[in-house]
Copies of this chain bind each other. A is one copy, B any other.
């Protein structure tokens, strides 16, 4: 596969862990890998996992569910910086305190690792390094996406990132976010998001949605729109 040809396209990274980064063996973790240092949390949807300013003395991992990383601005605005799904580590911070908040989008199973114990846990700390590089890659994708001019490119890119298989033609995908959250992630208003989703449905690129699932009917066209190759209706 030609990496160069793919990576400069304004596609978002998918919201799940890179499968090449070996996931943790949960059985082994619980039994032998310092279980007293890793604890697990079950968190309902739309709850805060940590807030901006909280002490950053742990690293987290989503086992089930999606989490958004965001900043809240004093004027009430909310900027969603990243969305992470199952298998992703998050909660890195430059300072002793978090510079972002993390809130669950769906009911989550989350593991937490104490930062202080990481140097003695080579398997975990290797995954932390890999996850940091992943995070850099993902944030670069987001920045490239925001540099894309049109609202349609952004909305289409968002659904591309949700596809289970990057080459999928048809799929039913879970959409764990509201229109408003999509808007805060894509730097649009929720009205603009709504209008463009409606347009994608009219173009038969997306099908009907029920609850928090939506059908992608034409993956190829969706990817073309994400690349800005066509805009007509």
Contact = CB atoms under 8 A, between A and B. Distances in A.
Interface of A: 3-4, 7-10, 18, 52-53, 71-75, 77, 79, 81, 92-97, 99-100, 129, 132-137, 139-140, 142-144, 146-147, 184, 187, 228
* Number of copies of this chain that the complex holds: 2
Contacts of A94: 18, 133-134, 136-137
Given A73-B10, A139-B139, A187-B146, A133 B132 contact: yes
A232 to B, nearest CB: 17
A25 B139 CA distance: 31
Contact of A143 (B129, B137, B139): B139
Instruction: Among A3, A75, A136, A228, find the residue whose CB has the most chain B CB atoms closer than 10 A.
Output: A136
Contacts of A147: 77, 79, 146, 184, 187
Contacts of A133: 92-94, 132
A149 B51 CA distance: 24
Nearest to A187: B147
Contact of A140 (B77, B134, B139): B139
A146 to B, nearest CB: 5
A52 B4 contact: yes
Given A3-B95, A146-B147, 12 more contacts: A3-B53, A4-B97, A7-B99, A8-B72, A79-B144, A92-B133, A93-B133, A94-B137, A100-B140, A136-B139, A139-B140, A147-B184
Given A8-B71, A8-B73, A129-B129, A99 B143 contact: no
Contacts of A136: 92, 94, 132, 135-136, 139
A71 B144 contact: yes
